[in-house]
Amino acid sequence: MNHLEANFDGLVGPTHNYAGLSFGNVASQSNAAAISNPKAAALQGLAKMKALHDMGMTQGVLAPQQRPDLDVLRRLGFDGNDAQVLDKAYRQAPPILRAAYSASSMWTANAATVSPSADSADGKVHFTPANLVNKFHRSIEPEVTGRILKATFADADRFVHHQHLPEHDQFGDEGAANHTRLCRDYGTPGLQLFVYGRYGFDASKPAPKRYPARQTREASEAVARLHQLGEHNTVYIQQNPDVIDQGVFHNDVIAVGNQNVLFYHEEAFLNTDAALAEIQAKFGDSPLHFIKVSTEQVGLQDAVKSYLFNTQILTLPNGEMTIIAPSECQENPAVFAYLNDLVKQSTPIRQVRYFDVKQSMQNGGGPACLRLRVALSEQEKAAVNPATLMSESKYAELTGWVEKHYRDRLTAEDLRDPQLVVESHQALDDLTRILNLGNLYPFQR
């Protein structure tokens, strides 16, 4: 039976803006108050999706969330009609208004953790939305994320949807950004690496000092239990707290894996040798490529700025691996030289392709942040909501939809404009028809 790995990218929502909301994410903080271009952001994301489709990959689309989240603003005491709620929040608490407007659900690597049927004891694909409790603007995502995932992977005989973990920092969970699966083929049982930043219930263990560790070990263990994984197919690895303090707010900023390749920076993990030995022991005899990038080759700051590791490693239909990198990797001399050399080495990676996702990068989201990987059998793929899969016609329909509904400029001042709410609702209402999602948004219920 054929298995494949699908990428489900987050469609950038109509209110994409730069609000400086993510302490510990250097790009988000340094672009606070920059002027965003939601139309360009959405088109950049769609162009990447279409390119992967054209490369023969299975590419899906995950819908954005309803923003602004007026319910959460009302829950926080801003009352009146929609225009009054926006105006009060704008005058009394601008950062809260910006949070309620964030299009951060575009980074679907943080939407959920997904375990394929080959690994889970019950032979089903498991999804757990991430609770994202570390940042207020992201903590308001999981419920609707769960609804979007259910509308996309609806077949209850094949797909199991769990509730997100309890909403507390001790169970901080950021989803697939801290989760990598290694395997021989997508359909053979694999090994799931859960990378955490700290312990939630043991303050004596190492932890970063400056920036928050968003993922706890206890959260990772809970997801593995829910997904019916066992000791034989899980490895827990602690992130190096020092790199978190240098801006590595998710593990996918410093490491990425695909099939039998683990591509990582030498400073990524706390106990690297022990972790690699455990991976090797549990992976079995077949060849495994640990591609280590040393600090001498690429310094940590260059890795963080260029997002060398926030790349997608794809296995193309011809079996060769390609890296999907942001154009920032081309612009950084050390990183560009490294990648040019990498494709000449004896690893499965044969090619690098560069994409302009600058609108997302300026908020700390690279190509890998924008996608959720779902390994599927052909039957499972056939059970996916077909309207969410990329095709020539879907691309044309979605780019037309963006051109029609999106603004090309958004400032902090614009967020008080009630017309933006009307425009966003119209856009999302149309989108639920294009993606055949039903009435999933609060304003539709």
Instruction: Write out the catalytic residue numbers.
Output: 174, 250, 369
Our finding on whether 192 is near ligand SUG (CB under 6 A) is no
Our finding on whether 65 is near ligand SUG (CB under 6 A) is no
Query: Amino acid letter at 293?
Result: V
Kindly write out the interface string for residues 117-136 of this chain, putting x where it contacts ligand SUG by CB under 6 A and - elsewhere.
------------------x-
User: Considering beta carbons, is residue 200 or 365 the nearer one to ligand SUG?
Assistant: 365
d(CA 131, CA 173): 6
d(CA 266, CA 268): 6
- Cα torsion angle, 347, 352, 357, 361, sign: positive
Our finding on whether 109 is near ligand SUG (CB under 6 A) is yes
User: Considering beta carbons, is residue 181 or 250 the nearer one to ligand SUG?
Assistant: 250
Our finding on whether 102 is near ligand SUG (CB under 6 A) is yes
Our finding on whether 250 is near ligand SUG (CB under 6 A) is yes
**CB of residue 27 to ligand SUG, shortest distance in Å:** 8
The answer to whether 100 and 72 are in contact (CB under 8 A) is yes
- Best CA proximity match to 149, nearest among 126, 133, 172, 165: 126
User: Considering beta carbons, is residue 21 or 223 the nearer one to ligand SUG?
Assistant: 21
Label each residue of 64-81 as H, E or C.
Answer: CCCCCCHHHHHHCCCCCC
Residue linked to tokens 């050399």: 341
The answer to whether 170 and 218 are in contact (CB under 8 A) is yes
Our finding on whether 110 is near ligand SUG (CB under 6 A) is yes
For ligand SUG, the binding residues in 407-426 under the rule CB under 6 A are none
Torsion (CA) 197, 239, 233, 131 in degrees, nearest 10: 30
Our finding on whether 107 is near ligand SUG (CB under 6 A) is yes
> Which stretch in 22-30, 113-121, 345-353, 407-415 sits in contact with ligand SUG by CB under 6 A?
22-30
Binder among 53, 124, 138, 227 for ligand SUG (CB under 6 A): 138
Kindly write out the interface string for residues 2-21 of this chain, putting x where it contacts ligand SUG by CB under 6 A and - elsewhere.
----------------xxxx
Our finding on whether 363 is near ligand SUG (CB under 6 A) is yes
d(CA 132, CA 140): 8
Binder among 5, 252, 328, 380 for ligand SUG (CB under 6 A): 252
Burial class (CB in 10 A: 0-12, 13-18, 19+), 77: exposed
Q: Give the number of residues written for the chain.
A: 445
Peptide bond into 326 cis (omega under 30): no
Take residue 38 and report the two structure tokens written for it.
């939601």
d(CA 162, CA 338): 41
Write the DSSP assignment of 416-431 as a string of letters.
G-HHHHHHHHHHHHHH
Our finding on whether 364 is near ligand SUG (CB under 6 A) is yes
Q: What letter would DSSP give residue 278?
A: H
User: Considering beta carbons, is residue 253 or 440 the nearer one to ligand SUG?
Assistant: 253
First to last CA, the chain: 41
Residue linked to tokens 């089903």: 124
Kindly write out the interface string for residues 70-99 of this chain, putting x where it contacts ligand SUG by CB under 6 A and - elsewhere.
------------------------------
**CB of residue 56 to ligand SUG, shortest distance in Å:** 25
User: Considering beta carbons, is residue 118 or 130 the nearer one to ligand SUG?
Assistant: 130
> Which stretch in 100-108, 259-267, 378-386, 426-434 sits in contact with ligand SUG by CB under 6 A?
100-108
Tell me the site size for ligand SUG, rule CB under 6 A: 23
d(CA 357, CA 10): 13
**CB of residue 211 to ligand SUG, shortest distance in Å:** 11
Our finding on whether 104 is near ligand SUG (CB under 6 A) is yes
Binder among 8, 10, 26, 28 for ligand SUG (CB under 6 A): 28
User: Considering beta carbons, is residue 36 or 259 the nearer one to ligand SUG?
Assistant: 36
Sites of contact with ligand SUG (CB under 6 A): 18-22, 25, 28, 102, 104, 107, 109-110, 135, 138, 177, 249-250, 252-253, 363-365, 369
